[in-house]
Amino acid sequence: MEKIQEYIRNARVFINTLFEENDAFEIALISVGTVLLLFGIKSILFQEESLKTRLKNLAFCLARKIPALSMKIDFEKKKAARDFQESMIRLHEGRPYMTHLPKKGWSSKKIMQEIEINLKMGHYKWDEGFVSGCVYNFDKNLISLLTEVYGAASYTNPLHPDIFPGVCKMEAEVVRMCANLFHGGSESCGTMTSGGTESIMMACKAYRDYAVEERGIKRPEMVMPNTAHPAFDKAAAYFKMKIIHVPVDPETTRVDVKAMEKSITKNTCMLVGSVPNFPYGTIDPIEEIAALGRKYKVPVHVDSCLGGFLTAFMDEAKLPHPPFDFAVPGVTSISADTHKYGFAPKGSSVVLYSEKKYLHHQYSVFPDWPGGVYGSPTVNGSRAGGIIAACWATLMYFGLEGYVNAAKKILKTTKYITEGLRKMDEIFVFGEPGTSVIAIGSDDFHIYRLSEGLSKRGWNLNPLQFPCGIHLCVTLMHTAKGVADKFLQDVREEIAIVMKSPKDEVCGKMAIYGMAQSIPDRSVVGDFTRFFLDSMYITKEPEDKSYVNGQSKK
């Protein structure tokens, strides 16, 4: 105590001598000025985005103001917008667009004719296994069953459990069957959603509100591998959460757990791991992430949207895999897509929690609405009962045996293709494919050239960036006889062609992906992406004729 008093006395003498020359007004001005300056510095240094990112953005923003550069960028953007529009119109095969309601309703026959035409557009033979992921199964028996099921349930809505109790029962059963598949305990629970993105966003919302309301965290932050799905970034943007991207090990492409631990702060509201991640198909070390969750008392979400309905059957199929589900203490939620390897029609997924306390923060409740006390479990109010019935029907149609057999076939085919690819010296496989995704790269040539070549042979693969690669997501379509061998054969032949001039640049439609990776100003790539999204909604020929075929006519 006495020590402190002495310090204060000394400080007082020091400051008084320092300001001997100034009058009281000056001193007050200097004090206020200093405080404001310190706050200013603090707000510059400590912001959502790092100082480095902001300086970089500022530099690009200034660069875009240079007239010559801004004209060039403008030209490239208009050209890209045109190219996107033109290729979409080409995909629509010159069919006229409906832009207004038909005056009189169409006959069923005419409607079906037009639907058939629309469904036949596109030239990829997805039904013969030429496409990565996308369509996971094409079983005509199941489709005709589901058509009947959807038709019978198309008017139902689980928003009204008193009116459609059976639809709610089916949703509850889907959730329970899935929770049991993932070794959920007696407290495990969850909801169906309209897809993986909604499942993930709901988990993020639950953990944000859990952090704010139960743990007194003001600015919740999520920590996730940079390979995790953009649905988490979407949630962060929608729900105003901070998101920290943790790098992955360049060799294994699994998250660097040490870096993850360093990113944890007192504001961390959730940790994420993927089983597997979409880009490289590798599985994050869930046991280690869950251990961090336990150590720092932070909930852990396992994104098994893609792989959930494969890994869940690996025990039964006698295939080894690291533990990833509720059997791992610390895992508090899982998202798994029934509409991927669950083979249900698009529009369904589940989000599951180890305990009710998290689920309760997913719910939205508004007790004071004049329309009545309102509560809803997910994003939507009204929901499609037909989709729930169709998902339930699919689970019943396959049964445990059906799913185990499908998983066996898919995982066997993945292994076969992986081994085949590993024999080719000019390419490499990223890490250890955990389920059904095989990502490949090359040190000898630009891997997009392989993709471009394969595309000419009818194959549609997914391009990856940072690091650059392409991937094949193996589905039931690829397990048909001869498909895997045809793929390996085509890859081998294309590599031979590419290796004749390994240093050539990427051309064709992959060129834009290659170029996008090398543009340092990511906001330009963002704008390109917006133009692409615009082109999906095109219903007329582009008006701006000044950029025909990318050539300015001016």
Ligand X SMILES: *[C@@H]1O[C@H](CO)[C@@H](O)[C@H](O)[C@H]1NC(C)=O
Q: Distance between CA atoms of 169 and 214, rounded to whole angstroms?
A: 31
Query: Choosing among ligand X, ligand PLP, none, which partner's interface includes residue 231 (Cβ < 5 to 8 Å by kind)?
Result: ligand PLP
Scan for tokens 């899982």, then name that residue.
Answer: 334
**One character per residue 73-112, x = contact with ligand X (rule: CB under 6 A):** ----------------------------------------
Please identify which residue in 129, 184, 196, 281 interacts with ligand PLP, judged by CB under 6 A: 196
3-class DSSP state of 273: strand
* Beta carbon nearer to ligand PLP, 201 or 406: 201
Q: Distance between CA atoms of 136 and 51, rounded to whole angstroms?
A: 44
- 332 is a contact residue toward ligand PLP (CB under 6 A): no
* Beta carbon nearer to ligand PLP, 56 or 346: 346
Query: Choosing among ligand PLP, ligand X, none, which partner's interface includes residue 194 (Cβ < 5 to 8 Å by kind)?
Result: ligand X
Please identify which residue in 226, 252, 376, 380 interacts with ligand X, judged by CB under 6 A: 380
Q: Distance between CA atoms of 414 and 411, rounded to whole angstroms?
A: 5
3-class DSSP state of 131: strand
Amino acid at 309: F
- 379 is a contact residue toward ligand X (CB under 6 A): yes
Q: CA 418 from chain center: how many Å?
A: 24
Please identify which residue in 132, 137, 263, 274 interacts with ligand PLP, judged by CB under 6 A: 274
- 195 is a contact residue toward ligand PLP (CB under 6 A): yes
* Beta carbon nearer to ligand X, 194 or 304: 194
Contacts of 320 (CB under 8 A, 6+ apart): 314
- 198 is a contact residue toward ligand X (CB under 6 A): yes
- 85 is a contact residue toward ligand PLP (CB under 6 A): no
Q: Residues binding ligand X: what is the number (CB under 6 A)?
A: 7
Residue 313 gets which letter from DSSP?
T
Contacts of 275 (CB under 8 A, 6+ apart): 283, 284, 286, 302, 303, 304, 307, 308, 311, 324, 434, 435
Query: Choosing among ligand X, ligand PLP, none, which partner's interface includes residue 383 (Cβ < 5 to 8 Å by kind)?
Result: ligand X
> Could you write out the DSSP letters of every residue in 134-159?
S-----HHHHHHHHHHHHHHTT--TT
> Could you write out the DSSP letters of every residue in 413-475?
HHHHHHHHHHT-TT-EE-S---SSEEEEE-SSS-HHHHHHHHHHTT-B-EEETTTTEEEEE--
Q: Which stretch binds ligand PLP (CB under 6 A): 79-87, 260-268, 270-278, 455-463?
A: 270-278
- 280 is a contact residue toward ligand PLP (CB under 6 A): no
CB 376 within 8 A of CB 320: no
**One character per residue 210-249, x = contact with ligand PLP (rule: CB under 6 A):** -------------------x-x------------------
Positions in the binding site for ligand PLP (CB under 6 A): 195-197, 200, 229, 231, 274, 277-278, 303, 305-306, 337, 349
Positions in the binding site for ligand X (CB under 6 A): 194, 198, 379-380, 382-384
